[in-house]
Structure 1
């Protein structure tokens, strides 16, 4: 089993139970305790888990809203953010769209454009599947039903074969220093692979995501090129982002401000 596959399975085990022992992981993975220990060191370095005596743990988890529940929140704000993001895209470009309801709204603004869209977001696929002007690539992976997305090492492998002009992603939270956080550690590796596959990274985050939630860091502000948000977002965090060289675009329903 490849290291990336082991890492994904370790994160799935921890996501299910919150804690796992070295011996237990070794048995489930069919790998030596020494190999699993090295895997845990790597995953802890990446901020995806915490090693404890004899094993590893995840932090305390909160109930994550379903995709449908999240889609019904901040609808007008998300629509304005999506429109602001769509204005950054030029015809002929290739873009990666990750999982998330604001990203799905962005897809609705892309009809009639000549683009290549790469996505693990099943709602984005459903939105764009009949638009013949858009070349559409659906990443492989495990179906994450609550997120309406595909994820895991297969998605990561697919992303190593592509290159995009833009990545547009959502977040569970944006910390005061501009760090982008995710609520589910198992989704972080694929998001990092999306960042690596893209020339520019755009974060779509409404004011409720400042600071929002999230226990696992996806990236630092230096990895971002633009953040599209709304005027109520935390001003100190926006300033920190701008000081890190990130363009902050603030939008409101019916208007786009920069």
Structure 2
């Protein structure tokens, strides 16, 4: 069965996160709740989605968790970004990272460093860098999200707010020329917004697929971060906004084949 553009976006969103709130989908796609429910109905009837309590989720999932699947998406780009960013982090530096597939890839690249002080809300980042090479890892507490293993909420935000680190590095779900840096989840946006204020330098790392996307929650404007590191140039509209904001754009070299 062929589906329309909105329905394909609904499926993509469900694949990215494992599930999605119907109200959030309506806002994200700029349609009414009645319209989004009409779009969802054939997806449920075809067996692609399950619908319950205001959410939709994938009906056909294998044993691999959504976060693990997202880790493998555009992996070469994420690895190139991670290697470029890691080259600017020295032994003994202090680093704050949020939860995200690109920051998880960066954590693996940082295993070659020693004596790092790492502050994070990501259980994956914490596991990757703790107890190796003399690192000290501080893990924020709070409500744990089952998909990505990240801690969120007031206690996580209050915890990181007490730190001042050399590098803050956050991931992002969408980069919009008008909206700026955006995320689909309020809790993740709140955490990232606080983290940006905790560093001597702040970097957003994201592969090019996040450009010219619009999400539900605004994290920050371009002028609030020092640089964006990505794998391919963004659109002219985003490039112009970055120049106007004085934000550095760095394109990570592709990894050798």
Which TM-score applies when normalising by structure 2?
0.71
Q: Quote the residue 1:248 is aligned against.
A: 249
Q: Quote the residue 1:140 is aligned against.
A: 141
Rounded to whole Å, the distance in 1 between the matches of 2:253 and 2:57 is 29
* Unmatched runs of 5 consecutive residues or more in structure 2: 1-19, 25-53, 59-64
Rounded to whole Å, the distance in 1 between the matches of 2:57 and 2:158 is 29
| 1:227 Cα offset (Å) | 0.6
Rounded to whole Å, the distance in 2 between the matches of 1:154 and 1:182 is 20
The answer to whether the Cα contact below 8 Å between 2:177 and 2:212 also exists between their aligned partners in 1 is yes
Rounded to whole Å, the distance in 1 between the matches of 2:55 and 2:244 is 31
Q: Quote the residue 1:95 is aligned against.
A: 95
Residues 231 and 139 of structure 1: CA distance in aligned 2, closer, same or farther (over 3 Å) = same
Q: Quote the residue 1:162 is aligned against.
A: 163
Rounded to whole Å, the distance in 2 between the matches of 1:189 and 1:219 is 10
Residues 139 and 217 of structure 1: CA distance in aligned 2, closer, same or farther (over 3 Å) = same
| 1:196 Cα offset (Å) | 1.7
> Secondary structure of the equivalent of 2:119?
strand
Deviations, residues 74-127 of structure 1 (Å, cap 9, x unaligned):
000000011111122233221101010100111112124221110111111121
The answer to whether the Cα contact below 8 Å between 1:82 and 1:105 also exists between their aligned partners in 2 is yes
Question: More deviation in 96-105 or 60-69?
Answer: 60-69
Deviations, residues 175-206 of structure 1 (Å, cap 9, x unaligned):
11471000101222222111121221100011
| 1:62 Cα offset (Å) | 8.6
Question: More deviation in 202-211 or 180-189?
Answer: 180-189
Rounded to whole Å, the distance in 1 between the matches of 2:161 and 2:240 is 33
Residues 253 and 63 of structure 1: CA distance in aligned 2, closer, same or farther (over 3 Å) = farther
| 1:168 Cα offset (Å) | 0.6
1:184 aligns with 2:185: yes
Q: Quote the residue 1:229 is aligned against.
A: 230
Residues 112 and 231 of structure 1: CA distance in aligned 2, closer, same or farther (over 3 Å) = closer
Residues 61 and 210 of structure 1: CA distance in aligned 2, closer, same or farther (over 3 Å) = farther
Q: Considering only aligned residues, what root-mean-square deviation do their CA atoms show, in Å?
A: 2.5
Stretches (4+) displaced over 6 A: 60-65
| 1:236 Cα offset (Å) | 3.0
Deviations, residues 120-141 of structure 1 (Å, cap 9, x unaligned):
1111112112313211111111
Deviations, residues 30-60 of structure 1 (Å, cap 9, x unaligned):
xxxxxxxxxxxxxxxxxxxxxxxxxxxxxx9
**Structure of higher RCO (CA pairs closer than 8 Å, 6+ residues apart):** 1
The answer to whether the Cα contact below 8 Å between 2:130 and 2:136 also exists between their aligned partners in 1 is no
The answer to whether the Cα contact below 8 Å between 2:172 and 2:205 also exists between their aligned partners in 1 is yes
Residues 16 and 154 of structure 1: CA distance in aligned 2, closer, same or farther (over 3 Å) = farther
| 1:18 Cα offset (Å) | 5.0
